Structure 1
């Protein structure tokens, strides 16, 4: 265990801190090399009456970390694949890129998200909405076991048979029940897929959104998709066809054959001339090219709204509010939900809002704006959506550590609060859940 103890020690920005928009200044920084290092850090924090937070890659940093103990888990990055049981045992610091690379030689794939540099464990604890989620469900649904250190400093192996209530809560309940040092998760037999993106000029954003919403009503559960609208910078490394333009894209991931994929995307191509078309059959290793998430650290703020449904008029208004005329640079992403995500997982988990039809994600770059201005914009967007908002997605709420309302339905929040009172009565990991 490597520990830095100066008051106000800051974690430097860089590969270990993808989110650079909020300060990280714990009283004590612990770089864990083993699960026992995590256990010692938890015992230290509990003994000194300090809050404790865990940090892997820093993509989903919920906000500023001031004081307390920060446990950096990036060295716990082991990945072991069992091709017979189709499972992977994944350390707390492992990225989805590493899990994918370990699984693919066996003809298997994890239920990863769009970015290969995101930490697999923290992503899964928040539910895990992946690029194949409509077919296979949330990543949390495929967890077989978790190794966790609870607030009493005890290392526990949590399974459906051993501590079933804690097993329920850790999958979808996030990080307030302990520090997960590794998990065992099921893999799927996927080696290739049909996917990519169709990009259109942003001046057609409302039209593309309307056609996209109509199209999602007819696609099978084996197809997961999203719509994204964003301004591309005028830089040499950006492809010429979208450089310096406001662009709306539809991204697709489909596990059927290429001929069927071509048939399914035909209505999208019928929208009209595209700026770019990367739809193709690809090995699963190339799946990060579907979204092309930025690989470099930056400062951002974000909101994730779970919607019962969405109509074309409201979608157009959201795109107008957050588009080129907004006071800051925004990325709008609309993800089609349903399919396997809507079903009850077995065993049941705390993953919320399973009957939502869409996830609206908003990400705002903080380099040229401030958080109050971004929040004002998000308030306008929420006002447009009104009763369609069913709740909020914890994995997509970036930066606002104080915004916890709506992550879970009231009954789920109450059940999670009961688990917190049992396993962490002093609030070492952040305190109670809100409905």
Structure 2
């Protein structure tokens, strides 16, 4: 009888591929399969371009994904999603990085910046927009036809993150949320399928994505309605405030004035205090300012008449004038380069006299301290923002009078100080906080499910969670302000 040793037997249990030593747990065959399935580039830690692909406008959050897929088309996005499912990893998505607030550690990171499709149908008054575009790209293309989109305060912001967060336009009191004007969306869901959703096709998913952000899939394109506008009346009025009394007078006057404005007038007021440091321009160094910004959707004569009471307060700077709509984002002068700031937001009741005193205390020049000083912006809501949209979505002001956006500088090594400053500011304003938030203004501090829930009405949140359970039951899309899938009858 022929004897056979164990060493002579065939290996029926081959050794599994050894993960790479980059800490991601992925193997070379894994990455080879992924690279072969996409037209775009795949990058892992240490590859040239990896860090750049993970960077974004907000420098206070760092991504450390397992792999980056720079998608060349929707098919690449679908392949990356299927790879994430196969390897048991979550999916993160980023276009421009303005919404970067939840670290994508260990994720399959899909960069959509190369999806730059853009076509305008002037007869239908619509535009089809790829996920890699910014509002500046869209404004330039649509203006040639006398048509414009409902953009926000920065032309650098990516279109998809803005639309899926609801989109608070500078003309919001007149036209409502930008999500009101989305006709359809193309997105890849957790099963790796590319879907086109609209009021007629999978309407529940169409409702959820407009407000639910990246919880339901990767949006690769959108069709939006455009408005036949060429000019607006707008600008800023800046008031130096040497003391708290002057600041209170200007802010109180603005709040009373804003309540009387027609829906054609959308406005905001910013309260700013700058440290006396040489890094700042002379015009800001060591000064406190109240800055009022206006956008009027009417003719120049009517806009000037409505703004005249603000001019009577004696602004140091007044840029209000008729201008092409394409210059609308210049009114706010948002930063164009990446910044290191800590951001927070809230929805407020109508501020009263006590609220005015509390607000101006943040910029009181006589108060001690060298910073960091929180910059506060109150955006006036109401008008069309408070009406039910023609195409329902998950975004709502929940009856608030103003949106508060708070920014605290966070230089390297001072992140915790900036967070503490923001916490203290919101605590001091808690009496006027409605407890609600807008989904497009959720930042790193707001990533817990409990805080995300505040961005929706209770009924809308329950519906979102149920739709999540239907389309993403395994919670693949969780590197975001996450809405967990509904579970159990008691939900």
Q: CA deviation at 1:313?
A: 2.1
The 3 A distance-change label for structure 1 pair 309 and 141 is same
Q: CA deviation at 1:371?
A: 3.3
Indicate which of 419, 422, 428 corresponds to 2:467: 419
Deviations for 1:29-48, whole angstroms, at most 9, x for unmatched residues? 11011011110111111111
Instruction: Name the counterpart of 1:229.
Output: 271
Instruction: Name the counterpart of 1:349.
Output: 393
Q: Distance in 2 between matches of 1:242 and 1:6?
A: 41
Q: CA deviation at 1:236?
A: 9.9
Q: CA deviation at 1:225?
A: 0.5
Indicate which of 180, 187, 198 corresponds to 2:237: 198
Instruction: Name the counterpart of 1:168.
Output: 207
Indicate which of 336, 358, 361 corresponds to 1:320: 361
Q: Given that residues 62 and 398 in structure 1 are in contact (C-alpha distance below 8 angstroms), is that contact kept between their aligned partners in structure 2? A: yes
Q: Distance in 1 between matches of 2:46 and 2:456?
A: 35
Indicate which of 373, 379, 384 corresponds to 1:329: 373
Q: Given that residues 408 and 422 in structure 2 are in contact (C-alpha distance below 8 angstroms), is that contact kept between their aligned partners in structure 1? A: no
- Of 303-312 and 387-396, more deviation after overlay is shown by 387-396
Deviations for 1:64-106, whole angstroms, at most 9, x for unmatched residues? 2211111111111222111111111111110000111111011
Instruction: Name the counterpart of 1:381.
Output: 426
Deviations for 1:306-337, whole angstroms, at most 9, x for unmatched residues? 12322232133134247665641322100001
Instruction: Name the counterpart of 1:396.
Output: 441
Instruction: Name the counterpart of 2:257.
Output: 215
Q: Distance in 1 between matches of 2:363 and 2:281?
A: 23
Q: Distance in 2 between matches of 1:259 and 1:236?
A: 41
Q: TM-score, normalised by structure 1?
A: 0.93
Q: Distance in 2 between matches of 1:68 and 1:421?
A: 21
Name stretches of at least 5 consecutive residues in structure 2 with no aligned partner.
1-39, 486-490
Deviations for 1:96-149, whole angstroms, at most 9, x for unmatched residues? 001111110111110000100000111010010011111011000000000000
**Alignment pair present for 1:186 and 2:186:** no
- 3-state SS of paired residue (1:107): coil
**Alignment pair present for 1:307 and 2:348:** yes
RMSD, matched Cα: 2.5
Instruction: Name the counterpart of 1:275.
Output: 316
Indicate which of 416, 421, 435 corresponds to 1:371: 416
Indicate which of 142, 153, 158 corresponds to 1:103: 142
Q: Distance in 2 between matches of 1:41 and 1:102?
A: 30
Q: How does 1:82-93 map to 2 (within 5 A)?
A: 82-93=121-132
Q: Given that residues 53 and 111 in structure 2 are in contact (C-alpha distance below 8 angstroms), is that contact kept between their aligned partners in structure 1? A: no
Q: How does 1:222-261 map to 2 (within 5 A)?
A: 222-231=264-273, 241-242=283-284, 244-261=286-303
Aligned length: 434
Q: Given that residues 126 and 225 in structure 2 are in contact (C-alpha distance below 8 angstroms), is that contact kept between their aligned partners in structure 1? A: yes
The 3 A distance-change label for structure 1 pair 389 and 422 is same
- 3-state SS of paired residue (1:261): helix
Q: Distance in 2 between matches of 1:59 and 1:322?
A: 27
Q: Distance in 2 between matches of 1:342 and 1:14?
A: 38
Q: Distance in 2 between matches of 1:230 and 1:361?
A: 12
Instruction: Name the counterpart of 1:120.
Output: 159
Q: Distance in 2 between matches of 1:236 and 1:112?
A: 34
Q: Given that residues 398 and 457 in structure 2 are in contact (C-alpha distance below 8 angstroms), is that contact kept between their aligned partners in structure 1? A: no
Name stretches of at least 5 consecutive residues in structure 1 with no aligned partner.
none
Deviations for 1:350-393, whole angstroms, at most 9, x for unmatched residues? 11334221101101111163236524543442443325424012
Q: CA deviation at 1:293?
A: 0.5
Q: Distance in 1 between matches of 2:357 and 2:106?
A: 43
Instruction: Name the counterpart of 2:3.
Output: none
Indicate which of 101, 112, 119 corresponds to 1:62: 101
Instruction: Name the counterpart of 2:31.
Output: none
Q: CA deviation at 1:27?
A: 0.6
Deviations for 1:196-249, whole angstroms, at most 9, x for unmatched residues? 000001443322211111011111101111001224577999876545532210
- 3-state SS of paired residue (2:436): strand
Q: Distance in 2 between matches of 1:413 and 1:134?
A: 24
Q: Given that residues 11 and 25 in structure 1 are in contact (C-alpha distance below 8 angstroms), is that contact kept between their aligned partners in structure 2? A: no
Q: Distance in 1 between matches of 2:175 and 2:137?
A: 20
Instruction: Name the counterpart of 1:154.
Output: 193
Q: Which has the higher strand share?
A: 1
Instruction: Name the counterpart of 1:407.
Output: 455
Q: Distance in 1 between matches of 2:52 and 2:276?
A: 25
Q: TM-score, normalised by structure 2?
A: 0.83
Q: Distance in 1 between matches of 2:420 and 2:396?
A: 24
